[in-house]
Structures are given as C-alpha cells and as structure tokens.
Amino acid sequence: MKRLVVVLALAALALPALAAEKVKVTFWHAFGGGRTAFIQRMVDDFNYTHPGIEVKAEYKGSYRDTLNAAILAARQGNPPHIVQIFEVGTQMALDSGIFVPVEDYVPAILKFQLEDYIKPVANYYRIKGKFNSVPWNSSNPILYYNKTIFKKAGLDPANPPKTFGEVMEACKKIEATKAAPKCITWPLHSWFVEQWIAEQGALLANNENGRAARATDVYIDSPAMRRIVEWWKAMYDKGYYVYSGKPEDWDGANQLFVSQQAAMEITSTSDVTFMQNAAFENGFELGTGFLPIPDGVERNGTVVGGASLWLTKGHPQDEMTAALTFLIWFTNTENMVRWHKGTGYFPVLNTSVKVLEWQHWFERNPAYRAAFDQLLQTKLNRATQGALLGPFPEIRTIIENMIQAIFQGKPIDQALKEADAAADKALKEYNAAVGK
Amino acid sequence: METETHAAYKSRWLPWILLLPTFVILLVFLYYPTLETFRLSLYRVAFLGIRKTFVGLENYQDLFTNPEYRRIFWNTVVYSSLVVFFSMAVGLFLSVLANQKVRGWRFYRLMLIWPYALSPAVAGVIFLFLFNPQAGIVNYFLDVLFGIRPDWLTHPGLAMFVLVAAAVWKNVGYNVVFYLAALQNLPGDVLEAALIDGATPWQRFWKVTFPLLSPMTFFLFVMNTIYAFFDTFPFVDLLTKGGPNGATNVLIYNIYRDGFEFYKTGMAAAQSVVLFVGVVILTVLQFRWGERRVHYGG
C-alpha cells in the first residue's frame, strides 16, 4: 500500500512535466498601470492560441530600469528573450552586444511583415538597411488645444496655430481676453527640441545624424537650435509658456492642460486616448493639430518616438523560434489595430492603417487624425530619421539644463556653446568606453 | 578578558562560529561592494560592467577639475549643512515646547513625530503638490495674502529651499523623539538649583539645559549628517531632478544618475569613493572636536 502511494505520488509529480513541455519565453516591458493589464490580455491570447509556447510578460519599471535590468541579467547569463527598449537607447542597445539583429532571424515566410512597416517607422528603426529590433510603440508630439478656451479668446477653434509666430499671436489674445490663466505648456524635455530640429531639416549630430557612421560631434550650437531656444525663452519671459518647474515632468504638463490652466499643450500622441477622456470629464472640447514649427522654414516632419522590441542572444534554437513567433504575432496587423485603439500609439503597419481606414476609424475619432497625418506627411531624410547617439540620455539632460539656464538669464550664445562642448565630451567618453 | 571568554564558551571556536553569519553578511554586502567600488573607480566602464578599461586616476582627475562636479560638491555642502542645522534646531525647539505639560501634550507629541513615519517618497510627493506653482496650496495662500505666485522649482534658490524644507520636515520627528527622551531624563535638581538662583528661562536653557543635552546633540549631529548625505535622494528625484540647471544636484543623486541613467559606472564609483572619504573625515572630525565639548554628566 505504502509503495503504491509513493509510486502514485511520483507519477503525479512527473505528469505535469511530461504534459507541459512548453517553450518558455520571457518578455520585459516598461508599461505600468492599465497598459500592463492590456499587454497581459494580449499575451494571454497568444498563449491560448499557441499551446506549445508560454510567454511571460513582466513590467520592469521605466525604460531605463528595463534596459538596466536586461543588461544586468545578460551579465549573469540569464537574460529575458525579448526586451522593450526606448528609441534613444537604440545605439546603446547595439553597442551593448547582448542583442541579435532581429531581421537575421525572421524566417523567410514572415519577412513580409517587415516590409509592411509605415515608412517613417521603418526609417527610424532600419539601421544600415536592417531591422535590429521590431518597432512596437511609436508616437510623435502634437499640439492639443482647448477649443472652449479658443472660442472665449476669439480664436478660430478649427484652426490651431501652426508656427511659432502663430502660437505667440494666439497667446497674446488669450492673455488679453483672460480666457485662460496661462497660454501653453509642454514638458521641459529634450524630446521636443529634437523634434523641432528635425522639423527644420537640420541634424543633431555629424555623420548624417550618426546614421552613416558613428556620430562624433553633437550639433547643439546651431542656427536651428537657436531658433528654438530664442522663441522658447521669449514665450517663457512673456509668461505664455508654463511648466511645473521639474524637467521631464509629463504628468505636470498634462495636469496644467487638463485643469484648464493652460489653453494648449504639446505632448505625445500616445496621450490622445487619455486627453479625450480628460476633456470629457472636465467639460471642454479638445482639438489636435500639427506640432507648431519655426516660421519661415519648410515642414520636414517629426522623428518617431517610442520603443521597439529587441531579441537577446544566447538562447537555444527552440526558444529563439518561440520568441520570434511571439514577436511577429504581437506586432501583426490585427494586434497593431488593437494596440492603437487601446493606447493611442500609432498603428505602425500599412495593413493596420488600411483596416482602420476601412472601419472609418479616423473619421469617427478625429483627434487621432492630426497625429497620424503628421506622421504620414513626414519627409524621409536624415533629419527626420532621428539621431543615433550612444549617450543620448546624458545629452538630453545637458539640453534640458541648457534651457533652464537660458530661462535664468544665461546669454543664449554662451549657453549653446557650453552645452555643445558638454555634449561632445559626453559623446567622446561614451565612444571611448565602448571602444569605438 | 581571556578567562571571561572561556567562562562563557567552553570551546575556543564557538564564539567565532556564532559570529560567522555576521561576518559573512558584512563581507558579502558591505566589504566586498566597498572594495569593488574602489576598484571600479579606476576604470572606464560601459554598460554596467560589460566592458571595462583601466584608466587609473582619470575619473578622479575629471571629478576635481570639471566645474560641473565642483558645483555638485558645493551644492552637497550647502544642502547638507542647511538640512542638518535646521532639522536639529527645529527639532530641539519643538521638543522643548512639547516637553511642557500643557493640555493635549500627548496629541502634540504624536503629531510632531508623525512625519517621521512617512516614507521619503510620500513626503516628496506631498511637497511636490504643496509647492506646485500653479495648482499648489502654498501659492494659493501666497496669492490670496500677498498677490504673489513664486515659481518654486524654476528658481535655483527657491528650489533649494523647497528641497531643504522637505528634508527637514521629514526628519524633524526623529530629532524630536530623541531630544524629548533626553529632556525628560535631565536631572531635575540642577534645573531647580538654577531656578532658585534666579536664572531667567533663557539663561536656564542655554547655560543648563543645552549643555546637558550635548551628548544627544552630538549623537543627532552624526545621524543627521548621514541622513543629509545619503537618505535625501528621493526628494531630489521627485521634486527637482537636480534642476533647475543642476542647482540642486547633490552628490548622492548624481551618483545614481551617472551610474544608472548615463551608464558611467566608473565615474559613479569615483564619486561614491569621494562621498565615502568625505563622510569618514567628517565623522572623525566630529568625534575629535565634538567629544571634547560633550558633557556626559555624572
């Protein structure tokens, strides 16, 4: 009897091991809150329809935390299979040597999906002709404006300002009519500076934005930069521009706009869904428009922001195949439609866009229209491709410090020169550290 | 000593075996990381250690010649001195008040200690809301009373003020607890003698109470210094991110930033070593100079 129990118990232990020889794939991402749950629902769907594979999605904190965690895990020899990395971490991810270029591993029969990416997105993520990662969440900055305040100020609610000068004019009216306490806000973030440089068709770094060869010189002391900071400083001095006082404070800017302290906000298109809900709750009418650009320059378009999915190296063949199967499924036509509707991030496949158009999605949701048109009208050149810089996070901080220094009254000439030197030094040190 | 040990433990090895877990923990979590930090500070490190190049003292040279870093050192000195001074002064003042037997003293004492129970992150968020230039309650009242709305976090001096205020507010409770305990244990006869001799309250405090509190003051000085140097990271991260333009960038925040945001692990390690040496020197000085003035009573 005793023996029988032991045998049965052993059998019971062995059974699940025999039954579930699933290939396990780990996926680390940086989306907290409601998006964690949204991703989990998609992953559950995948696991349900792919009985041989079990994907485990884990939220790892901010973009930076996720990248740090992946590097540390790789050093210990146990990296996750798939890691979400923000766009400015692209050069860093390439240099870290812990990833493989995804395009080399996509089976021929699925290559069609890589050809399906909308041009601006492919333009950013295709480096030297090859996708090193799978584009996933992509966004741009756009102008959100409060139509209710616009009407009060006597501005045309169907016609938001398109240039720096027009923003200034609108602000003058809003101030004169006291339609809102402040005119416009956006986070004090280098991302907007990078966008405005691209809009002017200018480069942020040498060697064609670091795309033709590794960048060795950052262009901060440039006419394009000067146009941006001169306007920004004037807006700040006149009290038209307002921010929470903390750099990179996305929530602070949203709070100012949503509480109707400011009539306009420039921020990411990934907030469209959030803004629509907030406008409804706070009882104002929301409008969206293109990112306002410097006067007298041709509109080149924006750089794709967001993140992509990277595949780490050093896994057995079956796990690599399973991870790729998931990656391709996760970003396929129908899932991109679902992702766009759930978050506001761009549908990055041409076929997804066709599905959405067929559903008259953009007519029914005009707020998404501006975001998407701006992306599709972007000219494809080195400027809008975006810079590839290893120490991008540090250079962003240098640019943000520069802007704060200019607000405090540092002469623009001197501020640009100093920031340019600091950024060049950061780049030199980074290049030396990675041995290039 | 020898005989005593042998009296307590039969075996010569038993005490060592009992101490072993402590040593292992110290070794793994304290001494090893410390030594590793010293070692890393001599390298240029990429990607948290995937690639390393020995550069000797180059990191230190950069630290001491780069004006950015000198500014960080200066910020750290200003910030820490203000935090230490005000959290102790306010702590002492409040505990003297709370030491009086007034109606509701239990309530006052509880309320004074309460902020200490909050995590620094929560305290930071509270201050962020309070000092929000547009929607904060501080500016609301300033506007109503004086018609001004300062941009707290955009002005270097004001940003430093908010940071110091947050750190002081958070730590005052700690000082109140210890000062209150010390005040309650003061020898009543000495104070009574002073009272009979006709000393004014002011004299009684500065000539009798304050010197008698000196051991506690000394202890709190050391603890507050450590707090100001090491535990105030969340305030900087939540309130200013070192801004505006690096005006509130202190060493502990910059170490994190260089290490984990900018991937300059070697530089971060060199700064940790500087911070470590600084705190060691400070502690030694405090014991050298402080001990002499401390009156431990009878």
Q: Could you report the per-residue pLDDT of A303-338, keeping only the tens digit for each?
A: 988 999 999 998 999 999 999 999 999 999 999 999
Out of B49, B239, B260, name the one closest to residue A64 (CB): B260
pLDDT value of residue A107: 86
Looking at beta carbons, which residues of chain A come within 8 Å of B243? 245-247, 400-401, 404
pLDDT value of residue A11: 55
Beta bridge partners, A311, equal A82, A100
Asked if the domains A22-138+304-376 and A141-301+391-433 are classified in one and the same CATH topology, the answer is yes
pLDDT value of residue A230: 96
> Looking at residues A409-434, what average pLDDT do you find?
93
pLDDT band at A175 (very low <50, low <70, confident <90, very high): very high
Looking at beta carbons, which residues of chain B come within 8 Å of A64? 260-261
pLDDT value of residue A231: 97
Min Cα distance A199 → chain B (Å) is 26
Burial class of residue B223 in the structure, from the number of CB atoms within 10 Å of its CB (0-12 exposed, 13-18 middle, 19+ buried): middle
Check B243 against A401: CB less than 8 A apart. Answer: yes
For chain A, give the percent of residues with pLDDT over 70. 95
CB-defined contacts A:B, below 8 A: 102
Q: How far apart are CA B216 and CA A387, in angstroms?
A: 57
Domains of chain B are: 66-293 (1.10.3720.10)
Assess B130–A contact: CB distance below 8 Å, yes or no. no
Q: How far apart are CA A398 and CA A400, in angstroms?
A: 6
pLDDT value of residue B1: 43
**What are the counts of helices (DSSP H) followed by strands (DSSP E) for chain A?**
21, 13
> Looking at residues A297-304, what average pLDDT do you find?
92
Check B47 against A432: CB less than 8 A apart. Answer: no
> Looking at residues A389-418, what average pLDDT do you find?
94
Look up residue B101 and give its two tokens.
Answer: 């037997």
pLDDT band at A5 (very low <50, low <70, confident <90, very high): low
| One-character DSSP codes across B70-101 | HHHHHHHHHHHHHHHHHHHHHHHHHHHHHTS-
pLDDT value of residue B293: 67
Looking at beta carbons, which residues of chain B come within 8 Å of A402? 245
Summary mean pLDDT of chain B: 87
Check B263 against A391: CB less than 8 A apart. Answer: yes
Check B135 against A259: CB less than 8 A apart. Answer: yes
Min Cα distance A247 → chain B (Å) is 7
> What residues contact residue B53 under an 8 Å CB cut-off, 6+ apart?
A432, A433, A435, B43, B44
pLDDT value of residue A168: 96
Give me the amino acid identity at A433. A
pLDDT value of residue A403: 96
pLDDT at residue A141 greater than cutoff 70: yes
SS (HEC) of B142-181: HHHHHCCCCCCCCCHHHHHHHHHHHHHHHHHHHHHHHHHH
Which residue of chain B is at minimal alpha-carbon distance from A391?
Answer: B262
pLDDT value of residue A216: 94
pLDDT value of residue A1: 54
Check B243 against A400: CB less than 8 A apart. Answer: yes
CA dihedral B187, B190, B195, B197 (to 10 degrees): 180
Beta bridge partners, A99, equal A312
CATH 3.40.190.10 corresponds to the domain A22-138+304-376 = yes
Min Cα distance A67 → chain B (Å) is 10
Give me the amino acid identity at A7. V
Q: Tally the residues of chain A.
A: 436
pLDDT at residue A16 greater than cutoff 60: no
- Annotated domain spans of chain A: 22-138+304-376, 141-301+391-433
Cis peptide before A247 (omega within 30 of 0): no
Look up residue B287 and give its two tokens.
Answer: 């014991």
Contact status, residue A99 vs residue A73, Cβ threshold 8 Å: no
pLDDT value of residue B297: 58
CA dihedral A362, A367, A370, A372 (to 10 degrees): -50
Question: By 3-state DSSP, what share of chain B in percent is helix, strand and coil, each rounded to 5?
Answer: 75, 5, 20
Look up residue B12 and give its two tokens.
Answer: 């010569």
Assess A426–B contact: CB distance below 8 Å, yes or no. yes
Q: How far apart are CA A186 and CA B234, in angstroms?
A: 24
Assess A412–B contact: CB distance below 8 Å, yes or no. no
Out of A64, A245, A433, name the one closest to residue B261 (CB): A64
Assess A92–B contact: CB distance below 8 Å, yes or no. yes
Out of B47, B154, B156, name the one closest to residue A96 (CB): B47
Q: How far apart are CA A135 and CA A308, in angstroms?
A: 4
Min Cα distance A397 → chain B (Å) is 9
Residues 47-76 of A with CB under 8 A from B: 64, 68, 71-72, 74-75
Assess A418–B contact: CB distance below 8 Å, yes or no. no
**What single-letter DSSP state applies at residue A62?**
S
Regarding predicted confidence, which is higher, A4 or A48?
A: A48
Which residue of chain B is at minimal alpha-carbon distance from A393?
Answer: B262
Looking at beta carbons, which residues of chain A come within 8 Å of B128? 246
Q: How far apart are CA A328 and CA A237, in angstroms?
A: 49
Check A75 against B153: CB less than 8 A apart. Answer: no
Which residue of chain B is at minimal alpha-carbon distance from A253?
Answer: B134
| One-character DSSP codes across A358-413 | HTTHHHH-HHHHHHHHHHHT---SHHHH----TTHHHHHHHHHHHHHHHHTT--HH
Other Cβ atoms less than 10 A from the Cβ of B201: the count is 10
Min Cα distance B252 → chain A (Å) is 17
Residues 254-293 of B with CB under 8 A from A: 257, 260-264
Assess A404–B contact: CB distance below 8 Å, yes or no. yes
pLDDT 10s digits, A24-69: 999 999 998 888 999 999 999 999 999 999 999 999 988 888 988 9
Q: How far apart are CA B159 and CA A245, in angstroms?
A: 9
Contact status, residue A80 vs residue A70, Cβ threshold 8 Å: yes
Q: Tally the residues of chain B.
A: 298
pLDDT value of residue B174: 93
Check A408 against B257: CB less than 8 A apart. Answer: no
Lowest mean pLDDT among A76-80, A156-160, A308-312: A76-80
pLDDT value of residue A2: 60
pLDDT value of residue B2: 46
Helix intervals (H) in B231-264: 233-235, 251-256
Look up residue A419 and give its two tokens.
Answer: 């920031």
| One-character DSSP codes across A115-167 | HTB-HHHHHHHEETTEESSEEEEEE-EEEEEEHHHHHHTT--TTS---BHHHH
Residue among B130, B154, B123 nearest B241 (CA): B154
pLDDT at residue A432 greater than cutoff 80: yes
- Tell me, which fold does domain A141-301+391-433 have in CATH? D-Maltodextrin-Binding Protein; domain 2 (3.40.190)
Q: How far apart are CA A329 and CA A107, in angstroms?
A: 13
Residues 154-213 of B with CB under 8 A from A: 154-156, 159
pLDDT value of residue A14: 54
pLDDT value of residue A40: 95
Check B44 against A432: CB less than 8 A apart. Answer: yes
Residue among B242, B162, B241, B151 nearest A243 (CA): B151
Check B48 against A246: CB less than 8 A apart. Answer: no
pLDDT 10s digits, B135-193: 789 989 998 999 888 888 888 899 999 999 999 999 999 999 999 999 988 888 888 88
Tokens 């000593």 belong to residue: B1
Half-sphere exposure of A371 (CA within 13 A, CB side): 29
Contact status, residue A60 vs residue A28, Cβ threshold 8 Å: yes
pLDDT value of residue B164: 95
Regarding predicted confidence, which is higher, A33 or A169?
A: A169
User: Model ipTM?
Assistant: 0.81
Assess B134–A contact: CB distance below 8 Å, yes or no. yes
Contact status, residue A402 vs residue A416, Cβ threshold 8 Å: yes
Summary mean pLDDT of chain A: 91
Q: How far apart are CA A235 and CA A228, in angstroms?
A: 11
Residue among A384, A425, A324, A404 nearest A202 (CA): A384
> Looking at residues B21-28, what average pLDDT do you find?
93
pLDDT band at A3 (very low <50, low <70, confident <90, very high): low
Assess B228–A contact: CB distance below 8 Å, yes or no. no
pLDDT value of residue B7: 60
Q: How far apart are CA B224 and CA B216, in angstroms?
A: 12
Check B44 against A434: CB less than 8 A apart. Answer: no
Lowest mean pLDDT among A16-30, A346-360, B114-128: A16-30
Lowest mean pLDDT among A187-196, A202-211, B234-243: B234-243
Which of B40, B50, B75, B248 is the mutation pick for testing A, counting most A CBs within 10 A? Answer: B50
Check A400 against B47: CB less than 8 A apart. Answer: no
Residues 263-282 of A with CB under 8 A from B: none
A118 torsion bin: left (phi>0), alpha (psi -120 to 50), beta (else): beta
Half-sphere exposure of A409 (CA within 13 A, CB side): 2
pLDDT at residue A139 greater than cutoff 80: yes
pLDDT 10s digits, A124-134: 998 888 899 99
Q: How far apart are CA B108 and CA A249, in angstroms?
A: 37
Check A422 against B68: CB less than 8 A apart. Answer: yes
Min Cα distance B86 → chain A (Å) is 25
Backbone angles phi, psi at B127, to 5 degrees: -70, -35
Out of A252, A391, A405, name the one closest to residue B245 (CB): A405
